[in-house]
Amino acid sequence: MTNVAGQAPGPKPGARDGATPPGTSLWMPADGRVKNVLLLADGEKPLVTENIGAVKELLAASCDRVEVRTNVREIQFDGSFALDDQPDLVVVLGGDGSVLTACRLFQNAPVATIGINYGRVGFLASLESSAWREGLTEVLEGRALVEQRMRLRATVLRGDGGGGTEGASAIAMNDVVISRGGTPSMAKFELISAGRAVTSYRADGLIFATPSGSTAYSLAAGGPILDPALRAIVLTPISAHALSHRPLVLGSRAVLEARVVDIAGAVTLDIDGRFVSELQGGDAVRLEACEDAYPLLTTRSFDPWQRLRDRLGWAGHFDGE
């Protein structure tokens, strides 16, 4: 599998024009050329259907092989998804959900991925649909930037306050959510860090988010926005009963356990919006930074702060200017 290569020197203090933004580096496959591309598309979006042919044509002019899949919403993660060749690059036409699908497909062997945004938000899909041609040209010519996005690994620990056997394990690009699901009453959770008790929560649930996921569910629940270049974990309680329970930001070296202490029914574990497992009283989830980051590509012209201003409705000035 082709991994990220071609590291560029970091920016000089104060450098702006032409400087590589902090947390990024130039991207190019190890052998210096993009050969195999997977074009993964949300074929249920009319604009995607209109443009997929032109996108494939541009890629095919420079690459040896372009494999197209237009059924991103129907992909099953049961081992049935197979490709003719391992791609050097994944190009996604869709929204952030489609990018998350690509990241999950290659979670064990990350492949550089760039998204063309045809969704509502586009925090992960960095290319605007109106500028996909310029953006992909930049990628193919070796002028694109790679952001190494931190991920979380969640492992279920069954019974005995989390001291029992290991259950399901999965990797999150955005967030790990432990919630009461359909149970009508709040659950009680305990948070442990490196074997030490942190606090207990009576809440509807807990959100553990990566910096990438800090603009998703965690933000809606009152969590902070983190620069995606950071390596940190955001813990945001969902409707905590105690007003003193505020979001926490922890270092990426933290090894956390969220224990289910008391619940009238079952608690659900969801990763990047997908159900993973049910949890019972006495079960726990261990959370830690994944060993490998996921390489998301972007362009020099992409301004994440501008996208935040646009998507979140930030005025930018209080004086009306």
**Which residues are tagged catalytic?**
96
CB 285 within 8 A of CB 157: yes
CB 6 within 8 A of CB 150: no
Q: Is 17 annotated as belonging to a binding site? A: no
Q: Is 175 annotated as belonging to a binding site? A: yes
The span from the CA of 105 to the CA of 94, in Å, is 15
> Could you give the 3-state DSSP secondary structure of residue 225?
coil
DSSP characters over 305-320: HHHHHHHHT--S-SS-
The span from the CA of 72 to the CA of 41, in Å, is 6
Q: Is 88 annotated as belonging to a binding site? A: no
Amino acid in the structure at residue 124: L
Q: Is 97 annotated as belonging to a binding site? A: yes
The span from the CA of 128 to the CA of 66, in Å, is 21
Q: Is 71 annotated as belonging to a binding site? A: no
Count other C-beta atoms under 10 Å from residue 161's C-beta: 16
CB-based burial, 105-121: b 16+ in 10 Å, e otherwise: bbbeebbbbbbbbbbeb
The span from the CA of 278 to the CA of 121, in Å, is 30
Q: Is 108 annotated as belonging to a binding site? A: no
Known binding positions for NAD(+): 96-97, 174-175, 202, 204
Question: Which residues belong to the annotated binding site?
Answer: 96-97, 174-175, 202, 204
